[in-house]
Amino acid sequence: MPSGRVGAGMRPRGLLAVRMRPRRPGLTAALVVLGAMVALAAAAPLLTPYEPLATDTSATSLPPGSPGHPLGTDMLGRDLLSRMLHGARTSLAVGITAAAVTVGAGTLIGGLAAVAPRWLDGLIARTADVLLSLPLLVVVLALAAVAGPSTRVVIAGIAVTNWMPVAMVVRAELRSLRERLYVRAAYGLGLTRRQVLWRHLLPGAAPPVAAIAAFEVGHAILTESTLSFLGLGIPPNQPSWGNLLTEAQSHLLTGEWYTVAVPAAAVIVTIVAVNLVANAVGGRSEGRSW
Amino acid sequence: MALPLIRRAATALAVVAALSVVCFALLDAAPGDPAASVLEARNGGRPPAAADVARLRADMGLDEPLPVRYARWVSAAVRGDLGTSYLTGRPVTETLAATAPWTALLTAAATLLSAAGAVAVGLVAALTRRAWLRRAIDGLSFVLGGLPGFVAALLLLYVFTAATGLLPSGGVGRPGEPVTPYRLLTHLVLPATALAFGHHFGIYVRLVASGVGRLRDAPHVDNARARGLPRRVVTTRHLMRPGLVPFTARLGVSVGTLLTGAYTTEVVFSWPGMGRQAIDAARGQDYPVLVAVVLVTGLVVVAANLAAELVVAALDPRTRAPGRPSMPTDPHPTPGETAHAR
């Protein structure tokens, strides 16, 4: 399926070059936004003089634009800009780590299914089917409740409930690639199984996996923020976008809308940007879905 | 028809079995001694005597080996006994019976809103000749794809309650007041809307639009138009009936999406349903209630998926033909979309 696109005299320049056509303002904007997010999150301690947990009783509930506190402060006098930036660190790190673990596990399981004997392949496929039929966010939620709130539990929960699509795509890709002429030629030329795997099979399966991986990042950020919002994700003392929203919830009715709006906007913008990139990597231009 | 039906039922049974294992594992792995927790709840918070705990442990079969415990739990669950709440000391089924109808009401309202909205918007996107309108709908559904349900709920809460005071902020009415249909409706509007137009809505719009859009210039539709059939008839009978099959298939899955989304929506709007009960139970470490809600949610989801498959089989003759692959529910499956729908 994907390699059909590669033909027609086009030489891929690098892994994703094939799939990213030039002049796509949406994609460019998404990449710029994500780049900025990551840079801001990485540079958080340099950008704000305040500790995200430091309280200041002389400056509580300041509105945005107050001197020294561009986004204002919360009820305990904690600087919201600092909390946002440190929250971005947590949310992005958890999202990316969880997606990486998910894709890694999915690739391993899918690769195993592709080469496994029939019964094991069938067992993996059935397990994936059954898991996909369960309301997984609810299961993660219960898992987090039983295990107690912690970053590690969030990441593990996301991986355990999301590896299936990755595994299914990897398995299908490997199975189809294995029969391709160039792969059989590689065997014919005397390459070992390992060489074929690393030089031909895995690079061939990379583009569709990259697309899923990008979606998984968005999904992981969504799941993390939901779990944290419910008090079952990142421990409440650590700022993350979901935790900020939990605290802000009670301020909503008293008119301090910005405490909700800022982290909410960050979550939405990030997920939309990630999905835009994922769509582009997946090779389907957005806006052309029908 | 019979054989695929049996296979589907068997798959559903396997899912239920897996669900029971997951639920039992959660309950079994939960920290704390269930017998002590139950006794403490019944005594009104006083720590129970060691002898009583030991007696109840034996009664509950907690000292038996793992397979026996699992078998006991399953047979009790089948008979409608899901254990005792650690917080209230009352049977879990009582709590469920009190909260489940509210969740059912909220989910049903959201499903209706969501389906009606998706069909309307999707039809416009599929049938309009105005490119900008199509692009606007596409962009909107894409942005909605990044909107977590609880954020949607918070935004609605701000706009309609905090800023304008148009609608009540949550619950189902003031305590002590009778619940009239009108009052119920005013309390239902916001949570149902928040739940209906979450991140799955964009996927529905796309499904409707792609399902109907592919048929817009199909021969049978041209034929119907050429025969001079009224536009309404062409749209409903020749475009919508076959074009909405993928969407209908998806609606079954949507029950699970909405039930899951109901957890956060109910928390934001203090809706007295199962979801909020589960979150309260999770925060209060009331594991029997939490696991019971997970179990019920899972059972409903499995039933809804099965029902959707049967409806699709009734609507689309191709899925009934033996030996042929069933029609794909989504002509352009994007991995992330299915991931988000979960």
Reading chain A (290 residues) residue by residue, the pLDDT tens digits are 444 444 444 544 555 554 555 567 777 888 888 888 888 888 777 777 777 777 767 766 677 766 777 777 776 767 778 888 888 888 888 989 999 999 999 999 998 888 888 888 888 888 888 888 778 788 888 888 888 888 888 899 899 888 888 898 888 888 888 888 888 898 889 888 888 888 888 888 887 888 888 888 888 888 888 888 888 888 877 888 888 888 777 777 776 777 788 888 888 888 888 888 887 776 543 333 32
* A212 close contact with B: CB closer than 8 A: yes
Out of A134, A139, A225, closest to residue B15 by CB: A134
- B341 — pLDDT class (breaks 50, 70, 90): very low
**Chain B residues whose beta carbon lies within 8 Å of the beta carbon of residue A139:** 22, 294
Phi-psi region of B334 (alpha: psi -120 to 50; beta: other; left: phi over 0): beta
Burial of B258 (0-12, 13-18, 19+ CB in 10 A): buried
Which residue does chain A place closest to B332, by CA atoms?
A289
Out of B206, B263, B338, closest to residue A165 by CB: B338
Best residue of B151, B215, B270 to probe chain A, by most A CBs closer than 10 Å: B151
Q: In b/e form, how buried is each residue of A147-177, taking b as 16+ CB within 10 angstroms?
A: bebebebbbbbbbbbbbbbbbbbbbbbbebb
Check CB contact under 8 Å for A264 and B214. Answer: no
Check CB contact under 8 Å for B11 and A231. Answer: no
**Chain B residues whose beta carbon lies within 8 Å of the beta carbon of residue A141:** 263, 278-279, 282, 294
Going by C-beta distance under 8 Å and a sequence separation of 6 or more, which residues neighbour residue B103? B259, B262, B266, B271, B273, B274, B275
Check CB contact under 8 Å for B138 and A286. Answer: yes
Check CB contact under 8 Å for B301 and A214. Answer: no
For residues B31 and B287, what is the distance between their CA atoms, to the nearest angstrom?
Answer: 9
What is the value of pTM for the model shown? 0.80
Check CB contact under 8 Å for B30 and A146. Answer: yes
Check CB contact under 8 Å for A289 and B158. Answer: no
Which residue does chain A place closest to B263, by CA atoms?
A138
Phi-psi region of A166 (alpha: psi -120 to 50; beta: other; left: phi over 0): alpha
Out of A134, A141, A219, closest to residue B298 by CB: A134
Q: Which residue has the tokens 């199984």?
A: A193
Q: What are phi and psi of B84, to 5 degrees?
A: -120, 135
